């Protein structure tokens, strides 16, 4: 009898020790918008990632008891929203990711965008497109990419270095143009930016000394964020790089030595056929290594190159 009780107790402990997540139903709360957020490993404060909709002043508390921020997984967290008249609760899911790949495509949309979208669909992964207005025939693909869940970021309207980097005024004139162009297509604004040539470009020196230092600060003050790459596919090194060379560059070490978070630079222009050809192998390489592919969003890893001008 004693034995049976001990065995039953052990079974009981075993079963209930696995219920380490709070057993509370999701309370649908209109003031706490987020249902699920994704954070990168070891994020200390997840509050900035929780979307809230309320006109009154508020504070947020998150009970992180069941979230292991150092370990990949999906956890539950209790969010408490305090407004002057009420306290709101909601259980949200917190996805903790470790190795993340952000595929980014500059200069599109183009003749190749549809092929890129098909490949991304095939692997059911999301990416980011930093667009221009150079190819208006394909502008509908900005909408299509957005509807498929990819992130649309702003690259430039003209892609004319001599114009955009000749003065702060010209840069922002160009940025506003692409901003309005994209807003007109999507009906929403996008805060994500990729500087032509990256923030470390030195070509801008030719047109205006110190402009990258100035712009990198000003765009953040205006509510945008810029995303450089920490790995290049090298597909812009020549008009048409060999597929094998693009793959080789894309699976190399990152510039900052941290291969847990990769922002890979690729190009989406009508002539870059080998980028499209290389894409499936690059995706498969990282899938096999356990990477999660994410589109850039407010919770993303941010990489800024060193500014040289
Ligand atoms: Zn570009």
pTM for the whole structure: 0.82
- How close is the Cα of 38 to the center of ligand 1, in Å? 28
pLDDT, position 42? 85
Q: How far is the CA of 269 from the centre of ligand 1 (A)?
A: 10
* pLDDT of 253 above 50: yes
**pLDDT value at 20 more than 60:** no
What residues contact 233, with CB distance under 8 A and at least 6 apart?
246, 249, 250, 264, 265, 266, 267, 275, 278, 282
Average pLDDT over residues 42-51: 86
Q: What local confidence, expressed as pLDDT, does residue 24 receive?
A: 44
Percent of the residues in the chain that have a pLDDT greater than 90, as a whole number:
75
3-state SS, one letter per residue, for 131-197: EECCCHHHCHHHHHHHHCCCEEEEEECCCCHHHHCCCHHHHHHHHHHHHHHHHHHHCCCCCEECCCC
- What is the distance in A from the centroid of ligand 1 to the CA of 196? 5
pLDDT digits 0-9 by tens, 136-183:
999 999 999 999 999 999 999 999 999 999 999 999 999 999 999 999
User: With pLDDT > 70 as the criterion, what percentage of the chain qualifies?
Assistant: 92
- Predicted confidence band of residue 23 (pLDDT cuts 50, 70, 90): very low
Cα 272 to middle of ligand 1, angstroms: 13
Ligand 1 centroid – CA 253 distance (Å):
22
Q: Dig out the tokens for 100 from the structure.
A: 């993340």
d(CA 193, ligand 1 centre) in Å: 11
On whether the CB atoms of residues 76 and 90 are closer than 8 A, the answer is no
Residue 16 has pLDDT above 90, yes or no: no
**Residue 49: predicted pLDDT:** 85
159 C-alpha to ligand 1 centroid (Å): 6
Structure tokens belonging to residue 229: 């790459």
CA 82–ligand 1 middle distance (angstroms): 44
């Amino acid at each position: 009898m004693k034995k049976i009780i001990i065995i039953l107790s052990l079974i009981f402990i075993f079963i209930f020790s696995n219920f380490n997540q709070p057993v509370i139903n999701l309370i649908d709360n209109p003031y706490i918008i987020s249902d699920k957020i994704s954070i990168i490993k070891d994020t200390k404060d997840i509050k900035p990632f929780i979307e809230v909709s309320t006109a009154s002043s508020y504070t947020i508390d998150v009970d992180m008891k069941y979230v292991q921020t150092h370990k990949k997984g999906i956890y539950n967290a209790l969010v408490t929203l305090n407004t002057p008249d009420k306290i709101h609760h909601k259980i949200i899911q917190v996805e903790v990711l470790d190795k993340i790949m952000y595929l980014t495509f500059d200069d599109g949309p183009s003749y190749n965008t549809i092929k890129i979208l098909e490949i991304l669909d095939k692997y059911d992964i999301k990416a980011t497109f930093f667009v221009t207005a150079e190819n208006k025939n394909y502008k509908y693909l900005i909408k299509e990419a957005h509807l498929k869940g990819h992130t649309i970021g702003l690259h430039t309207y003209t892609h004319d270095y001599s114009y955009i980097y000749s003065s702060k005024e010209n840069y922002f004139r160009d940025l506003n143009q692409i901003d309005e162009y994209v807003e007109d297509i999507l009906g929403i604004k996008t805060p994500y930016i990729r500087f032509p040539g990256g923030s470390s470009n030195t070509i801008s020196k030719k047109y205006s000394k110190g402009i990258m230092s100035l712009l990198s600060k000003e765009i953040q003050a205006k509510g945008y964020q810029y995303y450089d790459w920490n790995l290049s596919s090298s597909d812009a090194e020549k008009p048409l790089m060999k597929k094998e060379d693009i793959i080789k560059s894309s699976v190399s070490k990152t510039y900052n030595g941290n291969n847990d978070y990769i922002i890979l630079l690729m190009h989406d222009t009508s002539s870059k056929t080998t980028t499209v050809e290389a894409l499936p192998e690059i995706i498969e390489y990282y899938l096999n290594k356990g990477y999660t592919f994410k589109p850039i969003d407010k919770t993303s890893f941010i990489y800024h190159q060193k500014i040289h001008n």
